[in-house]
Structures are given as C-alpha cells and as structure tokens.
Homo-oligomer: A and B are copies of this chain.
Amino acid sequence: MDARKAADCHVPTLPDWITDAVASVGTLPRRDAQIAFAIDLARRNVDHATGGPFGAAIFDEEGRLIAVGVNRVVPLRSSLAHAEIIALVAAQQKLGRARLNGDGRRYTVANSSQPCCQCYGAIVWAGVDMLLIGARAADTESLAGFDEGPLPEDWTGGLERRGIQVIRDLGREAACTVLKAYAARGGPIY
C-alpha cells in the first residue's frame, strides 16, 4: 500500500461559482448578514446542483470573510466534505494555525443549518467563538430527509462551556426554503 500517495490528495475544492459568490462580499459585521450569506451559499449550491443544501462562512471579529464552504459529499465522494469542514480547513490553511482564535481575536462560523455530529465535533477544536445557525436539525430532517447523527443531549451547553456562543434560528425561514428547494429537486439524501 502506498500510504503517502493515498493521503496526498486534494482537499475537496469548491465549485466554480464560488468565485463570483464571494467576489462582491465586503465586511459583514452583522450576524443577520453573516447567516444570510451562509444561507445564500447553500441556495446557490442547490441551484447549481453542486452538492447538498448546506453552506458555511467564517468571519473575523470585524466581519471580514475568512473562508467559505458548501456541502460537496456526493460530487467529491467524501463524507468529510461538509460545508463547515471545508470552511474550517480553508480558514486554518489561510491563517496558518490549528486554532483560528489563537491570535486572541474572535471568530464566527455561520452555518445555514445546525451542524451534524461530525461538524459539531470539528467546531469544538477549531478555535471559533461564535456559532450562528439557520435551520434546526429537525428542519433538515423533516424538510430534506438528512440524518444529523448522535449529538450530546445538551449540545449547545457543550459548546457554551467551551466558550463558543451559539445563536440559533437566525434566518431559519430562508434556510428552510433552501432545504425545501433541494427536496423538490430530488437531490440525493445521504
């Protein structure tokens, strides 16, 4: 087995349309604008049929966009290629550290939907200070059929006790619209 060759692959890349989607983004200091941007990424990902109905964006404390992600599980054949994971990998690569807030500044992840069990755990270690969430897990499950996996019963408390503030139901209706659009298109569920 050539182990190094197997591991020396590319991180799931973003679709072509991302370049346009982020080109005009200035500073977005407001939470409602940050979540709206993440939800818009999810919407574009559905419209372009380039992955699942999920988007994520990472901002610094001034609201500057650091990195983005959209769900790419099916096109890239990787169960790791969730929107948040792609955004976190890209942000850490860009800032050059494993904990984003290792510079003493504050970082926010805006998620179009509640993180699944995998992304929940990744957010714990990534060095973020705030998590903004659009749709609830119940929305994702009932509207688009996705399974969100086993989370701690008090999952928000698990983050808050580690200094990660959680704000839910931001732009929930818009996020649900994207989930419904995905289901209406018959997008794959996994």
A154-168 vs B, CB cutoff 8 Å, 1 = contact: the mask equals 010011000000000
Q: In the complex, what residue of chain B is closest to A153 when comparing beta carbons?
A: B153
How distant is A165 from chain B, measured CB to nearest CB, in Å? Answer: 15
How distant is A35 from chain B, measured CB to nearest CB, in Å? Answer: 18
Q: Point out the residues of chain B lying under 8 angstroms from A155, CB to CB.
A: 150
In the complex, identify which listed stretch (A5-13, A42-50, A135-143, A170-178) lies at the interface while the others stay far away: A5-13
Q: Point out the residues of chain B lying under 8 angstroms from A97, CB to CB.
A: 77
In the assembly, what is the distance between CA of A174 and CA of B78, in Å? 32
In the assembly, what is the distance between CA of A89 and CA of B85, in Å? 12
Q: Point out the residues of chain B lying under 8 angstroms from A91, CB to CB.
A: 6
> Contact partner of A99 among B10, B79, B116, B117, CB < 8 A?
B79
Copies in the assembly, this chain: 2
How distant is A64 from chain B, measured CB to nearest CB, in Å? Answer: 8
| Interchain CB contact under 8 A, A79 and B149 | no
| Interchain CB contact under 8 A, B78 and A89 | yes
B-facing residues in A63-115 (Cβ within 8 Å): 65-69, 73-74, 76-81, 85-86, 88-94, 96-99
How distant is A169 from chain B, measured CB to nearest CB, in Å? Answer: 21
Q: Point out the residues of chain B lying under 8 angstroms from A2, CB to CB.
A: 19
Q: Do A19 and B7 form a contact, CB below 8 Å, given A78-B98, A153-B152?
A: no
How distant is A71 from chain B, measured CB to nearest CB, in Å? Answer: 11
Q: In the complex, what residue of chain B is closest to A127 when comparing beta carbons?
A: B79
Q: Point out the residues of chain B lying under 8 angstroms from A14, CB to CB.
A: 3-4, 7
Chain A contacts to B: CB under 8 angstroms: 1-4, 6-14, 16, 18-19, 21-22, 25, 65-69, 73-74, 76-81, 85-86, 88-94, 96-99, 116-122, 124-127, 149-153, 155, 158-159, 190
